[in-house]
Amino acid sequence: MRSRVPGVRVVGRMSAIKARSQSVAMKVVSKLLGVNHVIEGSVQRARSRYRCIAQLFRTRDRVCIWSQRFECVVGAGGDLFAFQDLIADTVTAAVVQPKSADVEPPKRFVSGSVPARDLYERARYLVQVRNNEGLEKGIALLEQSIALDPDFAPAHSQLDMARSMYYGIMAYPTLPAFREVEQSARRALALDPLDGEACALIANMVFRVDRDWAKAEPMFREALRVAPNSASAHQSHTAALVFNGRYFEGLDHKRIALDLDPLNITVRIHLAVITAYAHTYRTAIDEFSTLLEIELEHFDAHIILGPAYLWAGDGDAAMVHFDSACRIAPGHPIPLFDRIFVHGMIGDRGWAMLADLLGRLEGRHYQLYNRAMAEAFLGDVGGACVSLRRSAAAHELLFIRVPADPSFDACRDTPAFVALMNEYGIPRLLPSPFASGLDRGA
């Protein structure tokens, strides 16, 4: 909740955890996270009695500018979450002075159930790791948290985010899966009108599923108004802007998101994807390569790093990552389609591979957008347009990438592709200012 206080920027949880685990000097932490202050402390517990000693350090010279001891007896008039809020408010007051005594702190939506809160905190870390196993475990924990406390708004919001990631990775049918996510996000927003992440998620659904940018854009702005320090809200807005051809605005929001949570793998993966769609291939490749140094077996990083190499013209490097993704998730359709891209580019066995893959996928759900990409790489504009029409009819999330997706650059001037874009009211974007290969500090 401190992220809602004007004048206070709280670094993202994942970044704070990673920085702490690296055991580096405070000046290094300051540079790594872009923060002026670091809070350190210890917690001791003796049955129902809690003692917390907190210290606030200035990072530039490691001077302790404030310290205090807090004590609470839970169950004897003491509330553990009120105790947490007291500490947070006291630290905030030590960092920044309120502009007006009449300004009330934002209402906090915390659970009165200690087990529900504990499940929620455990799930947050698992969700941010962003792999199938972590998401499945995180979703299960969040469902348990909500069962214990149905009015626990942050658990609803985190569950929505986890489900949207999981459904996207597993290529679930879009409409039933994401209508469930949207309904649950609206529940979170009803419980907490200041939940900027739930607001941004709804805006994302309106843009990506309903393809209504005119309605979605003010919703994104509202999300950033109520939660200006939400990395995930800036991340979602980045994608929407880039896919509407507003590259410079999008990359500005990308920089804000990275400043807010620089070590969060989920945020960095999403933003590296958008960097690639802005045609800043070298920057995208560098960013994904850094992510793989942190987590070598990350499926998402491989399936997006591959196309970045491919769009930059390096099919051999692309195939290395597509093969890695196939090894990490055997049978997953996305890297299987991706491998066809390379063969289509070099004119070797692509058609036979596509026919074989479609035969194996018969009766299974897969993203038609990926099929359209394969057909475009194979030079089948008509087939790509048919698959894109089916993708649009199914409201697939990927369809909104069409205007900026380099996979379709060779198709854009063909009558069939122009007719398709006109049919769905998709504007022809101006060429990316980075299409020449020049990166603008993305």
CA 388 – CA 371 distance, rounded (Å): 9
Q: pLDDT at residue 371 above 90?
A: yes
Which residues, other chains included, contact 208 with Cβ-Cβ below 8 Å and sequence gap of 6+? 397, 400
**What's the CA gap between 403 and 215, in Å, rounded?**
19
Instruction: Please report the beta strands in 265-397, taking only residues with DSSP state E, as ranges in sequence order.
Output: none
Instruction: Sheet containing 37-46: give its strands across.
Output: 37-46, 49-58, 63-73
Q: Do residues 230 and 197 lie in contact, with contact meaning Cβ atoms separated by under 8 Å?
A: yes
Q: What is the per-residue pLDDT for 38?
A: 81
pLDDT at 117 over 60: yes
- Interatomic CA distance for residues 308 and 221, integer angstroms: 30
In three-state form (DSSP H/G/I as H, E/B as E, the rest C), the secondary structure along 211-248 is CCHHHHHHHHHHHHHHCCCCHHHHHHHHHHHHCCCCHH
> Is the pLDDT confidence value at 392 over 60?
yes
For residue 176, give the H/E element and its range. Answer: helix 174-191
Domains and CATH numbers, the chain: 2-99 (3.40.50.10070), 110-223 (1.25.40.10), 292-442 (1.25.40)
For residues 374 and 344, what is the distance between their CA atoms, to the nearest angstrom? 7
For 51, the 3-state DSSP assignment is strand
Measured distance CA(250)–CA(403) in Å, rounded: 15
Tell me how many degrees the CA angle 112-72-13 measures, rounded to the nearest 5.
Answer: 60
* 352 C-beta neighbours (distance < 10 Å), count: 11
| Alpha carbon distance, N-terminus to C-terminus of the chain | 30
Cβ pair 302, 328 in contact under 8 A: yes
pLDDT for 161-218, tens place per residue?
888 888 876 667 677 888 888 888 888 888 888 888 899 999 998 998 888 999 999 9
pLDDT at 137: 92
pLDDT at 284: 87
Exposed (0-12), middle (13-18) or buried (19+): which is 218, by Cβ within 10 Å?
A: exposed
Nearest to 271 by CA among 227, 231, 220, 211: 231
Give the range among 25-29, 89-93, 138-142 with minimum mean pLDDT: 25-29
Across 156-162, average pLDDT: 87
Give the residue, 264 or 356, on which the prediction is more confident: 356
Note the pLDDT of residue 73.
Answer: 82
Per-residue model confidence (pLDDT) at position 45: 84
